[in-house]
Amino acid sequence: MNEKSVNTVWHRPTVTRVRREKQNGHRSVITWFTGLSGSGKSTLAHAVEEELHRRGIRTFVFDGDNVRHGLCGDLGFSEEDRTENIRRIGQMAKLFIESGTIALTAFISPYQVDRQRVRRIVDYDEDFLEIYCECPLEVCESRDVKGLYQRARKGEISDFTGISSPYEEPENADLTVNTSMLNLDQCVEKVIGLLESRGVISSF
């Protein structure tokens, strides 16, 4: 228990996750998109959300840049701050699956230990689906519309994943999507197929 929270007591709601899932007609889950900057995480997460929304499924995308404008606006990109960033997102995503929502998160989340820590905070292993957006560094750099890789190569950005900071590839991802070989529609199909095969949503 967090020592700063010793005087708080967990309140058990009467409207439970199970009841919300039943009302929604689908399970809730965290889909954790990870990969290098430029690997297509955010693009894929939002495209999957579009398809799920079309099917009447409750969703929310946690986008890395958006979260750092608010919830994690006080954090930098040191190893310690990256770990805290992922911890906060993991806890928030857990609240969303308790609400019966499919939480789609798009974060580089470069460290294996941090991703595993998020997996451990959920009640069941099947509540966390790690989706690795696999893409060669040179392809990610070629897609770099923000110019971040170029600035990192010049030393203008420190602790940049793939250049001056490591990225640890998932060892046992629930799904690996090669975003350099497949088009967006094909990538979406693979993610939807994963959700259907795991019983999160119904197949048509």
86: Cα separation from own chain's centroid = 9
Query: Within a 13 Å sphere around the CA of 125, how many CA atoms are in the beta-carbon half?
Result: 4
Count of beta carbons in the 10 Å neighbourhood of residue 50: 12
Cα–Cα distance for residue pair 169/46, rounded to 1 Å: 22
- C-alpha 132/C-alpha 179 separation (Å) is 9
Query: Quick one: angle between helices 112-121 and 79-98, nearest 10?
Result: 30
Instruction: Write out the catalytic residue numbers.
Output: 109
